[in-house]
Amino acid sequence: MKPVATLLVWLAFLFGLPQVVICGVMIFSSGWAVPLVLVFLLTPIVPLILIQEIRRWQTLPPEVTASIALLSIAVSGGFYWMLFHRMS
């Protein structure tokens, strides 16, 4: 299960990389919606942080990491869908 979780984490990061760039640009012009933009900015990065082995902290089970990565992919898909409908 660990290789699958690692693959999902990297897919979530790659799928969310354009989202990070878009939110990085939007953060300066978002006004009162800065917390929402920050959540969208950090969503693709969180699974990558959780898969790292930190000395004092216990590593999460692969099932938890994989489910967080799938949630990140779903949020990124919702972000792209919302962006597509706003631009059309």
Domain edges within the chain = 41-50+61-88
pTM, entire model: 0.85
The two structure tokens encoding residue 77: 């898909």
The residue whose two tokens read 């953060």 is 27
User: 29 in helix, strand or coil?
Assistant: coil
Q: Say how far apart CA 76 and CA 16 lie, in whole Å.
A: 6
**pLDDT value of residue 58:** 77
Report the candidate in 56, 54, 42 with the shortest Cα–Cα distance to residue 12: 42
User: Which burial class, exposed, middle or buried, applies to 51 when counting CB atoms under 10 A from its CB (0-12, 13-18, 19+)?
Assistant: buried
Banded pLDDT at 14 (limits 50, 70, 90): very high
Q: Which helix (H) or strand (E) holds 12?
A: helix 2-26
Span 55-75, pLDDT tens digits = 777 778 889 999 999 999 999
